[in-house]
Amino acid sequence: MTDSHNKPNFRAAFGADLDSLRRRDRLRALAPRAGCDFASNDYLGLAESEEYRDAAKAALARGVPLGAGGSRLLRGNHPEHEALEEEAARFFGSEAALFFGAGFAANEALLATLPQRGDLILYDELIHASAHEGMRLSRARSVAVKHNDAAAFEEAISAAGEVGRIWIAVESLYSMDGDMAPLRELAETARRHHAFLLIDEAHATGVFGPGGRGLAHEMEGRENIVTLHTCGKALGLSGAMVCLPRLLREFLINRCRQFIFATAPSPLLAASIRAALRIIEGAEHRRERLASRVARVGRNLRRATGVEPSGTQIQPVIVGSEERALTLAGKMQAQGFDIRAIRPPTVPLGTSRLRISLTLNPSDEQMDAMIALLAHEIERLA
């Protein structure tokens, strides 16, 4: 069926795309949260905490508004935004910080805005989708580098020849494998080649480093280091802080479309994140409990299934085929354990997996029961 201009009916076009996803069992849908939490990134169990409720109530009581009313460059720049940026720079140890309303937008913005025409972006092949979106918008050329291989970055720089500035983009803790980047080696490579090192600390902020400052804490403040601290994972809120030299902050304010044209984040959110920084700094007991939980699950998982522990709060169970991952996830969910199957293109072909996220939300008994059921279901599938 076509319209008067002989164009395909939009329902047919979009419906065909959705049908294609449905046939390949990749159709996404929203559903209410259910079951015991082994899927969220609320690693420290703070998202629904009394501490956060009290902080939000206190901010509202002193008159902090929910809405900003416009972009930061118009009338949306609230004192809470500036106070947060000053406190975040002090907390993480950077020269300056800039607040974004979402981690995805912040990561996209960095790679779309900072590298210039003639520059070269070298990125870890397993980097976040938001980084890929930023590179798609960038005027710089981008090249994938073997995962977590500092020598491969060195070789890629040598092979690049004459280029402008080099930008090395990595995550400190990878979201699907739970492994850590060789940050010290990469920082040394960046230093030798006068390159910038962009470090996405999304899954490390709050969990690692002194006071939860992340895995790159000892590098913060260097003039060639840019870090991204997502507020929607261990911090339990939303938004993101970009920590960087003051000159680059000014450049983003003037050139970054994702910042210039976006309505400013809620001042109440900014006030809540300020409180969250103080809370996570003093949350060593939570980090210790999480580390103990990671070690316990790792031991029990290896014993029951043979799966090697990642050593972090992100534990993949790689099963290979998409069908196998979906079957296992379905079995776990049916018994009340919210564990999700992760499939291509999110992960490479042949590496479909269950992504077990360890947080402080379940009890020890629930964790043990989850591993026992998982071992049983893996054995049945074998």
Tokens of 329: 């996830």
- Annotated catalytic residue: which of 175, 352, 357, 361? 175
Name the pairing type of β-strands 352-357 and 340-342: antiparallel
- Annotated catalytic residue: which of 78, 81, 203, 331? 203
HSE, CB side, 13 Å, CA atoms: give it for residue 299.
Answer: 6
Q: Reply yes or no on whether 41 is catalytic.
A: yes
- Annotated catalytic residue: which of 37, 41, 49, 172? 41
- Annotated catalytic residue: which of 49, 107, 124, 128? 128
Q: Reply yes or no on whether 200 is catalytic.
A: yes
Rounded CA gap, 151 and 116, in Å? 25
DSSP-assigned beta bridge partners for residue 170: 199
The region, left, alpha or beta by phi > 0 then psi within -120 to 50, assigned to residue 31 is beta
Tokens of 356: 């077990």
Rounded CA gap, 368 and 346, in Å? 28
- Phi, then psi, of 311 in degrees rounded to 5: 85, 0
Max Cα–Cα distance, the chain, nearest Å: 67
**Alpha carbon 359 to chain centroid distance?**
15
Q: Reply yes or no on whether 171 is catalytic.
A: yes
Q: Reply yes or no on whether 71 is catalytic.
A: no
- Annotated catalytic residue: which of 200, 201, 220, 377? 200
In the DSSP assignment, the letter for residue 179 is: P
- Annotated catalytic residue: which of 171, 177, 201, 338? 171
Q: What is the CA radius of gyration of the chain?
A: 22
Q: Reply yes or no on whether 217 is catalytic.
A: no
Rounded CA gap, 236 and 48, in Å? 8
Q: Which residues are known to be catalytic? A: 41, 128, 171, 175, 200, 203, 233
